[in-house]
Amino acid sequence: MTTIALLIYPGFQILGLAVSTVFETANDLHGPHYHLTLLSEHGGIVPSSLGFGIQTDTFKDTHHDTLIVIGNNHIDDAPPALLDYLRSAAHQSRRITAVCTGAFVVAAAGLLQGRRATTHWAHARAFRSAYPGVQMDEDRIFVIDGNVWTSAGMTAGLDLALAIVEQDLGTAVARQVAKKLVVHHRRSGGQSQFSALLDMDPKTDRIQGALLYAREHLATDLSVDTLADVAHLSPRQFSRLFREETGQSPAKAIEHLRVEAARIMMEAGRHSLDVIARECGFGDRERMRRAFLRAFGQSPQAIKRVTETQLASFPQA
């Protein structure tokens, strides 16, 4: 039986507890494997960020295979007893994990020094300022560095929990759990927290329609003339309106969409770089390489190596 302790303190974000459903569903589908416990400094009822409370047990010396620190909305200081518990447990537990701003708690305990980590993008700058010795990568869904796992905000905790199930019970079980919960099968840790299309947030149907067309036809010619025709505007009107609504040129926006699509294909692990470059509309690997350097500061080859390493760390069913 794999024991998992969820660590909370006053003001914890209630959505963080959603990770427990992943393990509950794994038990339902695969048979008893996980035993979950809620822990807090004093035990008893602990109030959430919404005000209502939840029953917990006190910290004990009992060994737990996996610890999950639930975050909160305002980066409140964690109780010293929680930090002490994490430090002592770090030498016994197989995994120390954090959901959302729980990364601040793990960092305060000194367990992220010299490691890579992620957290909710909105708090990444504050994290960097507070913990300069941690390599913060706010554009990741989750990050695994040794036995310490951290996830981005809110629903990214589900991806982290599915990754744990995949590591413990295999890809097939994790896929079944994701299907039962009606969520995307485990997004890889390297996947971006952001969507290029959502980030542009066009205001009118014409520009939005042109961007949707572009995303669905990345391998084709997406010149200003083509997109202007889709939007039923002249090229000059289209370029002006596009920049007003998105803050960037059509060419730069299309590059962002292509880079995002290429990275998703890399994370799937089924295609060569030549195929990805062709399918995403770059034409050749060199153009894709230059676009990746502009977007990520890394080449496609470097990102593909990291992705392959991450995929190799999970058992295949």
Give residue-wise pLDDT tens across range 7-46: 999 999 999 999 999 999 999 999 999 999 999 999 999 9
Q: Which CATH number fits domain 2-180: 3.30.1330.10, 3.20.20.70, 3.40.50.10610, 3.40.50.880?
A: 3.40.50.880
Q: Which CATH superfamily does the domain covering 196-311 fall into? A: Homeodomain-like (1.10.10.60)
Q: How far apart are CA 93 and CA 176, in angstroms?
A: 27
Average pLDDT of the residues in 268-283: 88
Whether residue 181 contacts residue 120, with contact meaning beta carbons closer than 8 Å, is answered with no
Q: How far apart are CA 164 and CA 283, in angstroms?
A: 37
| pLDDT in the model for residue 249 | 92
| pLDDT in the model for residue 18 | 94
Query: Could you give the angle at which helices 285-296 and 300-312 cross, rounded to 10 degrees?
Result: 80
Residue pLDDT, tens place only, 227-250: 999 999 999 999 999 999 888 899
pTM of structure:
0.65
Residue pLDDT, tens place only, 177-222: 988 998 755 555 545 555 555 566 677 889 988 998 998 899 999 9
What is the rounded end-to-end Cα distance, in angstroms, of the chain? 20
Average pLDDT of the residues in 279-287: 93
Give exposure, 222-242, as e/b (b: 16+ Cβ within 10 Å).
bebebbbebbebebeebbebb
| pLDDT in the model for residue 313 | 54
| pLDDT in the model for residue 317 | 42
Q: What would the DSSP string read from start to end of 118-155? A: ---GGGHHHHHHH-TTSEE-TT-SEEEETTEEEE-STT
Residue pLDDT, tens place only, 153-182: 878 899 899 999 999 999 889 989 988 998
* Torsion angle of C-alpha atoms 50, 51, 52, 55, degrees rounded to 10: 100
| pLDDT in the model for residue 315 | 47
Residues marked active site are found at 100
Confidence band of 64 (pLDDT split at 50, 70, 90): very high
Tell me how far CA of residue 136 lies from CA of 117, 193, 263, 298, in angstroms.
5, 13, 20, 16
207-221, 246-260, 293-307: range with lowest mean pLDDT: 293-307
The residues spanned by each domain of the chain are 2-180, 196-311
302 has pLDDT over 90:
no
Which is higher by pLDDT, 119 or 61?
Answer: 119
Strand-strand pairing, 53-58 and 44-47: antiparallel
